[in-house]
């Protein structure tokens, strides 16, 4: 604060008129002529804050009577004003309303206070803002009260700190059967069963709520008509700003419905579990049946395989017999015929030229016949397979293929003899034969390569051609007889058959057959 300001503030010449005019409280000084006739009181002084109330500027108001203004005209106000003057104590004249330009209605709290002589002072305090806050609070409380009262599914009521009921709602009436006027002032233990009261439960609940803030309880309660219901109760302690206990709020629900629903749910659950267990048992049975069927099928398949293997063995034996018969019997007869024809030819006179021609042609036919018999018997069962073994038989077969088709067939075979038993070497040989037949008939190959690799415990045959290729897995799925026959042959002796092919990339057939090298045991 500067010196000048301090001086100004301590200057004894206080501008009273200015203070009165600027003070934010309305001030009117009245001069009374007759205390029984307040309307005749004249305005001696009025400040700006009071003019909003009166509705005219101060200069024009001075000298006017209250009757002229029409304000404070109510008889009770006049009575109070007179009282104030008589007793010499200020009096509250209540709330009055004026209008202001911008804000609309303005509320004033008006007080009168007697001055010396026949003067009376009146103050007007603008309480519009306070009134509006008060109104809002009141409205909010009213809305909340209506809401609580209107709730029908819950009993909501208040109790004083000792448990006596002080408010009641519609839900409480519905749930417990008491009307508001019947129950107000009663102790809340009327809702408890006699045994529960004996145990001191109501007091215990209140105590618990008071100490913990709230308390929840599920249990039986009694209605006005004595009937019971299963309730869920929540009691909340109500405390003021200073923490003093003012009472309790109590919310009660009839949870019988919920219990019924839970029980129904539980029942459904039980049934469901039972069904599930039954299903599981049924499934187990079906599973067992399926398993039995599968093993039955597996057994049948094994039987079929054994049968097929036996048939194959018999067929192979038959082929061997026929081949031998052809070779031995037919071969010898042909040779005898050949020798006889040669003998006759030699002895025919020169001049018998037509006869000689015939016999020479017969000789040529017989030699063709001998060739055919050898070839057919070899094809039925190459004697090499039995006499010289798999490697020699395969070499012979490759030669045959090459000379018949003109397609070079390279065979890479192990140096040592593959000492396989007859069943295995026959299987490998037949697969090789069938593969070459397929190449000759379908592949349009320009070269073929066959390899036999001997491993520790298996023998592997791989035949590759550079022909047109085909969709092999599709052919197997369709059940092509030749391919399936090869696969079956391999399976019969515990082997594995694979064919991979792609259009334009040739075809590779591979067969892996397990076996033990001779001398290491069974010689299989
Ligand atoms: N090396 C190959 N190159 C191209 N196509 C092949 C070859 N091998 C087989 N195929 C195709 O696969 C099909 C099935 O062969 P598979 O040996 O099963 O029957 P097939 O030779 O037609 O008749 P079958 O062998 O009973 O006399 C053949 O028709 C052919 O189209
Ligand atoms: Mg075939």
Q: What is the pLDDT of residues 98-108, one digit of tens each?
A: 766 666 778 88
Class of domain 387-514: alpha beta
pLDDT digits (tens, 9 = 90+) for 278-305: 999 999 999 999 999 999 999 998 888 8
* pLDDT value of position 469: 94
Give per-residue burial for 267-290: e unless 16+ CB within 10 Å, then b. Answer: eeeeeeeeeeeeeeeeeeeeeeee
Ligand nearest, relative to CA of residue 407:
1
pLDDT score for 199: 93
Instruction: List where CATH 3.30.565.10 sits in the chain.
Output: 387-514
pLDDT of residue 512: 95
Q: What is the pLDDT of residue 24?
A: 85
- pLDDT over 70 for what percent of the chain? 91
- Ligand 2 centre to CA of 507 (Å) is 13
Tell me which of 470, 487, 497 to substitute to probe ligand 1's pocket, judged by most ligand atoms within 8 Å of the beta carbon: 470
Residue 8: the pLDDT is 55
Using one digit for the tens of pLDDT, what is the confidence trace for 483-518?
Answer: 988 998 898 888 999 999 988 889 999 999 998 655
| pLDDT tens profile 167-179 | 998 889 998 999 9
Mean pLDDT estimate for the chain: 85
Do 470 and 507 contact (CB within 8 A), yes or no?
Answer: yes
Split at pLDDT 50, 70, 90, the class of 111 is confident
> What CA–CA distance (Å, rounded) separates 394 from 461?
11
Pick the ligand that lies closest to the CA of residue 475.
1
- Residue of 401, 446, 465, 475 with the most ligand 1 atoms within 8 Å of its CB, for mutation: 475
Which ligand 1 atom sits closest to the C-alpha of 441? 21
Q: What is the mean pLDDT of residues 150-155?
A: 81
Q: Name the DSSP class of 165.
A: B
From-to residues of CATH 3.30.450.20 in the chain: 3-126, 133-254
Q: What CATH number does domain 3-126 carry, 3.30.450.20, 3.90.640.10, 3.10.20.30, 3.30.230.10? A: 3.30.450.20
CA 483 to centroid of ligand 2, rounded, Å: 7
CA of 509 to the centre of ligand 2 (A): 13
Q: Report the pLDDT value the prediction gives residue 524, as an integer from 0 to 100.
A: 34
Helix segments in 381-447, DSSP class H: 383-387, 390-405, 422-438
What ligand 1 atom has the least distance to the C-alpha of 472?
12
Instruction: Report d(CA 497, CA 135) in Å as an integer.
Output: 98
Domain 133-254 falls in which CATH fold? Beta-Lactamase (3.30.450)
| Ligand 2 center–CA 449 separation, angstroms | 18
Atom 28 of ligand 1 has which residue's CA nearest to it? 442
In contact, 420 and 430? CB cutoff 8 Å: no
In terms of residues, how long is the chain? Answer: 524
Nearest CA to ligand 1 atom 14: 480
For residue 434, which of 359, 499, 502 has the smallest C-alpha distance? Answer: 499
**How far, in Å, from the CA of 441 to the mean position of ligand 2?**
8
How far is ligand 2, taken at its centre, from the CA of residue 378, in Å?
20
Ligand 1 pocket list (CB less than 6 A): 438-439, 441-443, 465, 467-470, 475, 480-483, 507
pLDDT surpasses 70 at 75:
no
Please report which ligand is nearest the Cα atom of 472.
1
Please tell me the distance from the alpha carbon of residue 306 to that of residue 492, in angstroms, as a whole number. 8
46 CA to centre of ligand 1 in angstroms? 127
Residue 188, burial from CB neighbour count under 10 angstroms (0-12, 13-18, 19+): buried
Q: Which ligand is closest in space to the CA of residue 484?
A: 1
pLDDT score recorded for residue 317: 85
Say if CB 76 and CB 92 are below 8 A apart.
no
* C-beta separation of 135 from 126 below 8 A: no
- When pLDDT is averaged across residues 238-257 and rounded to a whole number, the result is 87
């Amino acid at each position: 604060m500067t010196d000048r300001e301090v001086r100004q503030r301590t200057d004894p010449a206080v501008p009273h008129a200015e203070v009165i005019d600027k003070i934010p409280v309305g001030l009117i000084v009245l001069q009374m002529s007759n205390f029984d006739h307040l309307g005749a009181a004249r305005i001696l002084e009025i400040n700006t804050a009071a003019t909003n109330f009166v509705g005219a500027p101060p200069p024009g108001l001075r000298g006017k009577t209250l009757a002229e203004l029409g304000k404070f005209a109510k008889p009770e106000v006049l009575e109070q004003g007179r009282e104030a003057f008589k007793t010499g104590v200020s009096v509250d004249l209540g709330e009055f309303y004026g209008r202001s330009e911008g804000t609309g209605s303005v509320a004033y709290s008006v007080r009168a206070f007697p001055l010396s002589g026949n003067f009376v002072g009146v103050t007007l305090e603008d309480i519009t803002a306070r009134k509006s806050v008060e109104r809002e609070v009141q409205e909010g409380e009213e809305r909340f009260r209506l809401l609580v009262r209107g709730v029908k599914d819950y009993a909501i009521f208040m109790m004083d700190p000792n448990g006596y009921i002080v408010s009641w709602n519609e839900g409480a009436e519905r749930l417990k059967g008491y009307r508001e006027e019947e129950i107000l002032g009663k102790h809340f233990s009327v809702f408890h069963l006699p045994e529960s009261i004996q145990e001191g439960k109501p007091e215990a609940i209140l105590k618990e709520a008071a100490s913990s803030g709230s308390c929840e309880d599920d249990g039986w309660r009694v209605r006005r008509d004595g009937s019971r219901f299963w309730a869920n109760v929540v009691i909340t302690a109500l405390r003021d700003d200073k923490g003093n206990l003012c009472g309790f709020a109590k919310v009660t629900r009839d949870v019988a419905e919920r219990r019924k629903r839970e029980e129904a749910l539980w029942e459904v659950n039980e049934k469901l579990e039972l069904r599930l267990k039954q299903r599981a048992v049924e499934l187990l049975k079906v599973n067992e049946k399926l398993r039995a069927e599968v093993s039955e099928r597996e057994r049948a398949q094994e039987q079929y395989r054994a049968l097929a293997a036996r048939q194959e063995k018999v067929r192979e034996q038959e082929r061997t017999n026929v081949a031998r018969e052809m070779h031995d019997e037919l071969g010898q007869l042909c040779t005898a015929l050949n020798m006889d024809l040669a003998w006759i030819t030699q002895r025919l006179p020169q001049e018998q030229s037509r006869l000689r021609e015939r016999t020479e042609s017969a000789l040529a036919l017989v030699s063709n016949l001998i060739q055919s018999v050898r070839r057919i018997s070899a094809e039925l069962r190459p004697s090499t397979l039995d006499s010289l073994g798999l490697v020699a038989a395969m070499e012979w077969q490759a030669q045959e293929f090459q000379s018949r088709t003109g397609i070079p067939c390279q065979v890479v075979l192990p140096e040592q003899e593959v000492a396989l038993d007859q069943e295995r070497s026959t299987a490998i040989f037949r697969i090789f034969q069938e593969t070459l037949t397929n190449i000759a008939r379908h592949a349009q190959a320009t070269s073929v390569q066959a390899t036999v690799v001997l491993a520790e415990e298996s023998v592997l045959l791989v035949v590759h051609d550079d022909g047109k290729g085909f969709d092999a897995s599709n052919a197997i799925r369709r059940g092509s007889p030749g391919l399936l026959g090869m696969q079956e042959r391999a399976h019969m002796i515990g082997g594995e058959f694979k064919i991979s092919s792609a259009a334009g990339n040739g075809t590779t057939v591979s067969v892996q057959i397990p076996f033990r090298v001779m001398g290491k045991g069974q010689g299989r």
